[in-house]
Structure 1
Amino acid sequence: MRQTVALSGIDICIIVLYLAALVGLGLYFARKRRIQTAQDLFLGGRSLKWYHVGLSIFSSNVSPVMLVGYGGMAYTTGMVAANFDWLAWWFLLLLAMVFIPHYFATKVSTMPEFLLRRYGQRSFTFLTYYSMISTLIVSVSFVLLTGGLVIAQILEVPFWVAAAGATVLATSYTATGGLAAIAKTGALQSVVVTVAAIIVGVIAINRIGGVSEVISRSPKEFWTIFRPASDPVYPWHAVILGYPVVGIWYWCTDQTIVQQTLAAQNIEQGQYGTMLVAGLKALVPFIFLLPGIYCLILFPNLANPDHAYLVMTANLLPVGLVGITLAALIAALIYDVAIGINAFSTVFSLNVYSKNINPGASPARARLVGRIVIIGSSLIALLMSLLLSTVDKGLFDLSQAVGTYLAPPLTTVFLLGVVWKKATSKAANLTLHFGSALCLCVGIMQIADFPHKAFWPHFMLLTFFLTAILTVFMVVISLLFPETGPGPSLPTLAQTYASQPPYDRRKIWFGWTAIGMLMAVLYYLFG
C-alpha cells in the first residue's frame, strides 16, 4: 500500500493545465464583466442566476476539509458525519424563506449591515470586526491548513510552499474579477470535484466486489448515523441539539455563504439557488463520505485516518485519473480561499473603509482599496494557517469545534432579531459582547482541558448549552429594558414579501416539500 501519490508526467501536466484553465477562466470572466464599483467587485453586480448561486455555494462547501476530513471521519466512525449534510436542509430552508427575504428587503451587502438595520450602530460595529476575524480563521485559514497539508504531501514540498502557492492563485482572479468570476468558476469546479470523487468511489466498490460486500465487510454500526449517547465521538443527542446552533450560524449568518445569495438577481433566484444546495447535500455523504468506509475495507490500520482519500487516490486510480482527482482537490482549496478572502474584503471595504475611514471615497477609489485588502487579507490568512499547522487534532473535528465558540452569540442575535420583534438593541449588544467573551473563555478552557478533560461535555452539546444561556439572557434583558423609543426594527415576513416583485412561491414550497420527504426517507433508512 502506497501512503503517498506517485505523480507521472501525464498527471503533472493535467494538474498544471487544469489549474491554468481555472485561473484563466476566472480572469476571462473578470475581463468580460467590467468592474466599476466595489458592489460589482464583491457582489457581482447582483446578477447571478439561481444555478450560479447554488453551485457556487455547493462548491465552497465541498472544501478540502470535506474531501480529506470526511474520509478520515468515515474511516473511523462511518456514516455519522452525514448528519452535517442531511440536517442542513432545515437551515437552508430557513435561509431561503426567512432570512433571504429580509436581507433583500433591507438591501444589505453584508451581515453587519443587517444588524445595523435591526439593532443599531453598536451591533454593526461589533459584528464588522467579529465577522472579519471569524472569516479569516474559519473560512480561509482552516481551508489553507487542510488543503496545504495535503498538497504538501502530494508534491513533497514544505507546507508553506503549498499554502503560499494556493493563496497566490486564489488572489489572482479574486482581485481582478471579484465574486462574479469566483461564482462562475465555482459552477465548473463543483462539477469536476464531484465527478472525481464519484470515480474514486466506483473504482473502490468494484475492487471490493460490489455494494453487498461493502456492507458485509464493514462494521454494522458504521451504517447508523445516530450513535449511542455514550459514544465519545458524535453521540446522537449532541448532534441533534448542537447542529442547529452551528447550522443557523453557518448557513444563515456567515458572510461567505450569505454573500453568494445576495449576489442573486432577486429573491426568487436566491431561493432557488439555496434549494439546489439542499438537494445536492442529500447526495454528499454517498459521494464524499462513503470512500472513507471503502478505504477501511481495502486499507485497514492507517496510521492517520485523514490520509484515507489520498491513499485511495494513490492506490486505486490509473495514470491520468490521479491527475484529474488531485487537480480537483487543489482547485477546491484555491476556490475556497478565494471565497473567504472575498467575503473578508467585502466587510472591510463596504463597512470599515467606506463608512468610517473614507466615507466620501469615489467608486474607483473604493474598488482599488477593495483589491488591496484582498491581497492583504490573503497574506494574513496564510500566516494564520502556518500557526494552525502546529495544532495536533483531527482536521474535520478541529474545523467543527471552532464553530462551538463562534456560533452561539450570532445564532442568538440573528434568530431572535428575525422572529421576535421585542428583541432590543441593548439586549443584542450585551449578548454579542458578553456571549463572545463567555464563548472565548470556555473555548480556551476546553482546549486546555482545564480544570479537567472529563469536566467538559461534547463540543456540540457545549454549543447548545451556551446558546440556551445566551437566548435566556437576551430575552430577559429585552423584557426588563424594552425600547424607550420606536427603535430599529424589521418589517414582518409578509410585509417583506409584499415589498418585492410578485412571483409564484408555490413551486418553491413544492420543491422544499420534496427535499424534506427525501431527507425523511434517508433518515428512515440510516437512522
Structure 2
Amino acid sequence: MNATVAISFVACTVLVAVISWYKTRSVNLRSVSGLFLAGKNNNYLVVAGSLLLTNLSANQFIGENESVYVNNLSVMAWGVTSVVAMLLVSEFLLPVYFKGGMVTTPDFLADRYDEGTKRLVSIIFLLSYMVNLLPPVLYGGAVAMTGMFDLPTWFGVSYWQCIWIMVWILGLVGSIYTIVGGLKAITISDTVLGGGLLIIGICLPWFALKTLGNGNIVGGLTALLTKHTTHLNAIGSATDAVPFSTLFTGMLLVNIYYWGMEQYIVQQVLVAKNLAHAQKGMAFAAVGKLVTPVLINLPGLIAVHLYPSIENTASVFSVLAAHVLPSVLLGLTAALVFGAAMTTYNAGLHGSSTLFVLNIYKPYQAKRSHVTTDGELVRVGKRFEIAVSLLAMFTAPFILFAHSGFYTYLQKVSGLFSIPIFTIVVIGFLTKRVPPSAAKAGLLFFMVSYFTCQYVLDISLHFLHVLAILFGATSLLMLAIGRRWPMQRHQTAEFVPDVVGLAPWKRRHWASLLLILAMLSLYVVFSKWGVAT
C-alpha cells in the first residue's frame, strides 16, 4: 500500500466524519427523538441517500461480484427488482406508518394484534440483526479492505488474522460513530457517501474497461460484449444463483419485507419531514437501485475476462479495484467501501438499540410502574449497542468458513427471520378476524418449517421457492385459526393529527411508471434478446 492510497483513504474518511459532525451539532442527542429519530426533519434527498447507502454495504460489493463471476448477471435481480417492492411500500405501507405515528415496524403489530406479538417480533428482529446483519457486514468490509490494500503482507500476518484485525477496526469505529452521532449522523454520512459512490461508479468501470482493452475503452467494451456473453445473461436458469422464476415468488416477498418492514431500513424513511418527502425519497432511491449494477455487478463481469481463475472468488471486487484504479481513486474507493460497511453496520446497530429500548426495555419498566426518562433510555440504548457490537465482532470472522457462496448464505439465513414477520404483517393488513394467537402460531410454524427444510431435510427446491410455499402455508394456517377462533376486539391504529403531513406525493404514479419501464428495459438488454447472445 503506497502513501497516496493511504492519504486518499484517510482524507475521504475524515471529510465524511467532519461533515456529519457539522450537520448534526445542533441535534439534541440526549433525547429519544434526537438520538433515535434524527428529529424527524429529513428531506427527500437525505431520505434517498440514507436508504441507498444503508442498503449498500461491503456485502454486496463482495457477494454480488462473486456471484456474477461464478454464475452470471442473474444476481442483479436482488437490486433491480427491488423497484417493484419499493413502489408498493411507498404506495401502501408508508401512509399507514405515517398515519399511525409509528416509530418502529412492530408498532403496527401492537395496533393490529397485541403487545405480546409486538414484543415477540422485536426479539426476532434483534436475533436477525445479531446473526445475519451485523456480523456479515463486518466480515464483508474486512474482506474488501484486506483485498484492496493487501493487508496480510502489510501487517505481516495471515489472511485469517487480518480478517480478525479488520473486523475489530470496523466494529470499533462503527460503534463509536453510532453511539456518539445517533441516527442524524448516519443519514448525513449516507448522503455524502452517495456522491462519492457516483464518482466511483463511473471511474471503476472506466479504468477496468481500459485495462481490458489494453488502454482502449472501446476495445474493452467490445471484448465485454462479445466474449463470455453467457455471464451477461440476467435471466437465470434453474441452476443459477437466482433462477428467473424466483423473481415472482420468494424474491418479491423478501424485497417487500426488506423495504417496507425491516426496521433499520424503514427507520430511514420514518424520519422524513412528511409523507410526500418519504415517498419522493423512496422513488429517488429506486432510481439508485437501477443504476447500482454498474458499480455492484459490472466489476465482476470485467473480472471474468481479466482474471479467469481466481481461487478466492470473494476477493473479485478487491482484486479488480487494486489492479486497475490509480492510487488516489483506490484510496477513495476503499474509503467508500469502508463507509458503505459502516453505514449499514451503524444503521443495524442503531435499529437494534431502537427496538430494544422502545419495544422491550421501556414497556418492561412501565409494567413495573417505573417511569423512564429520556436520559435513562439513551444510556440503556448506548450500553445495548456496545454489547451487540462486541458480540458481532467476536462472531464475524467465522463466516469465512461458510460452505456456500457468501451472498447466497446471507439471503438464505435471512429468510428464516424475514418472511415469517412479513406473513403476519400481510395477514394483519388483509383481515381483522385473525387473532394474536394465530400470529404467534404462524411465526413458530414458519421458522421451524423453514429451518427443517433448509438444514435438516435434503430438499432440492430453491430456497426462494421454499419461502413462497411456506408463506402460503402459514397464511392458510393463520386464516384457519381466524375462522375457528375469530378476533373479538378489532384493534385499529390510533389516528395521529397531521403533525408531519400526510398528503402523498402528487407525481408518484408517473414516477412509478417510468421506474417500472426502466426495470423491464434492463432485463431486455441483459437477455438473449439483447447482449447475452
Separation in 2, partners of 1:100, 1:228: 35
Separation in 1, partners of 2:326, 2:204: 11
Q: Would you say 1:63 and 2:57 are equivalent positions?
A: yes
Aligned residue runs from structure 1 range 251-270, under 5 A: 251-270=259-278
Separation in 2, partners of 1:137, 1:365: 27
Corresponding residue for 2:185?
181
Match of 2:327, SS? coil
- Residue 327 to residue 59, structure 1, CA distance change in 2 (3 Å): same
Corresponding residue for 2:158?
none
TM-score normalised by structure 2 residue count: 0.90
Separation in 1, partners of 2:504, 2:178: 35
Aligned residue runs from structure 1 range 121-140, under 5 A: 121-140=115-134
Corresponding residue for 1:350?
358
Corresponding residue for 1:487?
490
Measured after TM superposition, the shift of residue 490 of structure 1 is: 4.8
Give the aligned residue type for 1:24.
Answer: V
Corresponding residue for 1:145?
139
Give the aligned residue type for 2:234.
Answer: I
Corresponding residue for 1:213?
223
Give the aligned residue type for 2:58.
Answer: P
Corresponding residue for 1:314?
322
Give the aligned residue type for 1:381.
Answer: A
Instruction: Check whether the contact 1:164–1:382 (CA below 8 A) recurs between aligned residues.
Output: yes
Corresponding residue for 1:117?
111
Measured after TM superposition, the shift of residue 136 of structure 1 is: 2.2
Match of 1:389, SS? helix
Match of 1:206, SS? helix
Separation in 2, partners of 1:203, 1:117: 53
Separation in 1, partners of 2:400, 2:316: 19
Corresponding residue for 2:531?
none
Corresponding residue for 1:328?
336
Give the aligned residue type for 2:353.
Answer: S
Give the aligned residue type for 2:517.
Answer: M
Instruction: Check whether the contact 1:101–1:497 (CA below 8 A) recurs between aligned residues.
Output: no
Instruction: Check whether the contact 2:53–2:191 (CA below 8 A) recurs between aligned residues.
Output: yes
Corresponding residue for 2:292?
284
Instruction: Check whether the contact 1:245–1:407 (CA below 8 A) recurs between aligned residues.
Output: no
Instruction: Check whether the contact 1:143–1:337 (CA below 8 A) recurs between aligned residues.
Output: yes
Separation in 2, partners of 1:44, 1:55: 15
Q: Would you say 1:222 and 2:222 are equivalent positions?
A: no
Instruction: Check whether the contact 1:241–1:464 (CA below 8 A) recurs between aligned residues.
Output: yes
Corresponding residue for 1:82?
76
Report which stretch shifted further, 31-40 or 322-331.
Answer: 31-40
Measured after TM superposition, the shift of residue 496 of structure 1 is: 9.5
Separation in 1, partners of 2:26, 2:403: 44
- Residue 197 to residue 521, structure 1, CA distance change in 2 (3 Å): closer
Give the aligned residue type for 2:503.
Answer: Y
Cα deviation 1:152-184 (Å, max 9, x = unaligned): 343225222111111111122211221111000
Cα deviation 1:160-211 (Å, max 9, x = unaligned): 2111111111122211221111000110112213322321101122233142
Give the aligned residue type for 2:372.
Answer: A
Corresponding residue for 1:33?
27
Separation in 1, partners of 2:35, 2:251: 33
Give the aligned residue type for 1:244.
Answer: L
Corresponding residue for 1:4?
none
Measured after TM superposition, the shift of residue 501 of structure 1 is: 4.2
Separation in 1, partners of 2:165, 2:82: 35
Instruction: Give the share of equivalent positions with the same residue, in percent.
Output: 22
Measured after TM superposition, the shift of residue 65 of structure 1 is: 1.0
Cα deviation 1:348-378 (Å, max 9, x = unaligned): 1111221113651111221222222222221
Q: 1:171 aligns with which of 156, 162, 175?
A: 175
Instruction: Check whether the contact 2:174–2:345 (CA below 8 A) recurs between aligned residues.
Output: yes
Q: Cα RMSD over matched residues? A: 2.2
Separation in 1, partners of 2:354, 2:73: 36
Q: 2:100 aligns with which of 98, 106, 125?
A: 106
Report which stretch shifted further, 384-393 or 128-137.
Answer: 384-393
Corresponding residue for 2:461?
457
Q: Would you say 1:304 and 2:298 are equivalent positions?
A: no
Instruction: Check whether the contact 1:73–1:396 (CA below 8 A) recurs between aligned residues.
Output: yes
Measured after TM superposition, the shift of residue 319 of structure 1 is: 2.0
Measured after TM superposition, the shift of residue 232 of structure 1 is: 4.5
Cα deviation 1:89-112 (Å, max 9, x = unaligned): 111012111111111111121122
Instruction: Check whether the contact 1:70–1:81 (CA below 8 A) recurs between aligned residues.
Output: yes
Instruction: Check whether the contact 2:77–2:242 (CA below 8 A) recurs between aligned residues.
Output: no
Structure 2 unpaired stretches of 5+: 156-161, 214-218, 528-533
Instruction: Check whether the contact 2:275–2:504 (CA below 8 A) recurs between aligned residues.
Output: no
Instruction: Check whether the contact 2:275–2:505 (CA below 8 A) recurs between aligned residues.
Output: no
Aligned residue runs from structure 1 range 376-415, under 5 A: 376-415=387-426
Instruction: Check whether the contact 1:110–1:255 (CA below 8 A) recurs between aligned residues.
Output: yes
Instruction: Check whether the contact 1:101–1:496 (CA below 8 A) recurs between aligned residues.
Output: no
Instruction: Check whether the contact 1:405–1:443 (CA below 8 A) recurs between aligned residues.
Output: no
Match of 1:35, SS? coil
- Residue 323 to residue 501, structure 1, CA distance change in 2 (3 Å): closer
Q: Would you say 1:193 and 2:187 are equivalent positions?
A: no
Q: Would you say 1:432 and 2:443 are equivalent positions?
A: yes
Instruction: Check whether the contact 1:105–1:499 (CA below 8 A) recurs between aligned residues.
Output: no
Measured after TM superposition, the shift of residue 145 of structure 1 is: 1.4
Instruction: Check whether the contact 1:102–1:496 (CA below 8 A) recurs between aligned residues.
Output: no
Separation in 2, partners of 1:72, 1:419: 39
Q: Would you say 1:17 and 2:11 are equivalent positions?
A: yes
Instruction: Check whether the contact 1:408–1:470 (CA below 8 A) recurs between aligned residues.
Output: no
Match of 2:201, SS? helix
Cα deviation 1:19-39 (Å, max 9, x = unaligned): 223333333344232224122
Report which stretch shifted further, 269-278 or 68-77.
Answer: 68-77
Separation in 2, partners of 1:86, 1:419: 27
Give the aligned residue type for 1:480.
Answer: R
- Residue 502 to residue 113, structure 1, CA distance change in 2 (3 Å): closer
Separation in 1, partners of 2:496, 2:372: 31
Measured after TM superposition, the shift of residue 135 of structure 1 is: 1.7
Measured after TM superposition, the shift of residue 408 of structure 1 is: 2.3
- Residue 500 to residue 11, structure 1, CA distance change in 2 (3 Å): closer
Match of 1:303, SS? coil
Cα deviation 1:456-483 (Å, max 9, x = unaligned): 3112122112212112211222222211
Separation in 1, partners of 2:410, 2:123: 20
Measured after TM superposition, the shift of residue 504 of structure 1 is: 5.8
Cα deviation 1:210-231 (Å, max 9, x = unaligned): 4232110123x322211233x2
Match of 1:310, SS? helix
Corresponding residue for 2:86?
92
Separation in 2, partners of 1:223, 1:57: 28
Measured after TM superposition, the shift of residue 499 of structure 1 is: 10
Measured after TM superposition, the shift of residue 246 of structure 1 is: 1.1
Separation in 1, partners of 2:41, 2:498: 22
Report which stretch shifted further, 201-210 or 79-88.
Answer: 201-210
- Residue 502 to residue 167, structure 1, CA distance change in 2 (3 Å): closer
- Residue 497 to residue 272, structure 1, CA distance change in 2 (3 Å): farther
Instruction: Check whether the contact 1:26–1:173 (CA below 8 A) recurs between aligned residues.
Output: no
Instruction: Check whether the contact 1:62–1:190 (CA below 8 A) recurs between aligned residues.
Output: no
